[in-house]
């Protein structure tokens, strides 16, 4: 469906408010216009580019900091964190993440994103993966953005159970149940 400029820009604002991590390319496809048109619309509406939107969301949502590992050891970029509750990270799949022959992401990168998010969510100085049940639901390709969402589902004694689901757009690409050891009982 083709929109007039004013209507497209209104829908663009709505879409970015609902999904701040949407790319210009995804917006261009949804509206049936060029990427340049989307960039011009964003410029006219004073909407920052994706990288800046991610930083803004992260700064607004971060109430707490990672305790169980240095932030630079987290795979992907954490954009939301509530210790012992939930966390979200983003990983853009680049050349170094894929097999050269087919441009499909190596599974260990998706696992590392999910596993490091499961460690990061723990409100403790030490958290280790005791057990993980994982499932890859579809291949992830070069250029795709993986959004991993972790949530604590159970805590008892020195163990915490965390579900992690990773998506490309709205499509599930990875899911895992991580049973984490923590050094203190909380």
What's the whole-model pTM score?
0.69
Most confident range, picked from 28-32, 63-67, 96-100:
96-100
User: What class does CATH assign to 5-56?
Assistant: mainly alpha
Of 52, 103, 78, 95, nearest to 164 by C-alpha is 78
Q: Summarize pLDDT for 24-36 with one digit per residue, the tens.
A: 888 999 899 999 9
The domain segmentation of the chain, as residue ranges, is: 5-56, 62-182
Query: 38-65 burial string, b = 16+ CB within 10 Å, else e?
Result: beebbeeeebeebeebbeebbeeeeeee
**Calpha distance 114→57 (Å, rounded):** 20
The CATH fold assigned to 62-182 is Thiol Ester Dehydrase; Chain A (3.10.129)
The mean pLDDT of 86-99, rounded to a whole number, is 94
Contact, 12 vs 27, CB < 8 A?
yes
């Amino acid at each position: 469906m083709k929109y007039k400029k004013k209507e497209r820009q209104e829908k663009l604002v709505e879409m970015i408010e609902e999904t701040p991590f949407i790319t210009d390319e995804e917006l261009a496809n949804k509206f049936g216009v060029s990427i340049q048109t989307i960039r011009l619309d964003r410029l006219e509406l004073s909407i920052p580019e994706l990288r800046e939107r991610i930083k803004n969301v992260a700064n607004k949502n971060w109430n707490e900091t990672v305790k169980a590992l240095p932030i630079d050891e987290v795979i992907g970029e954490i954009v939301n964190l509530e210790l012992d509750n939930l966390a979200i990270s983003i990983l853009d799949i680049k050349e170094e993440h894929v097999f050269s022959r087919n441009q499909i992401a190596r599974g260990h990168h998706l696992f590392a994103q999910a596993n490091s998010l499961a460690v990061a969510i723990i409100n403790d100085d030490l958290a280790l993966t005791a057990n993980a049940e994982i499932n890859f639901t579809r291949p992830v390709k070069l250029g795709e953005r993986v959004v991993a969402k972790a949530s604590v589902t159970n805590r008892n004694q020195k163990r915490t159970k965390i579900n992690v689901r990773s998506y490309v757009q709205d499509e599930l690409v990875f899911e895992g149940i991580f049973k984490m050891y923590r050094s203190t009982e909380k």
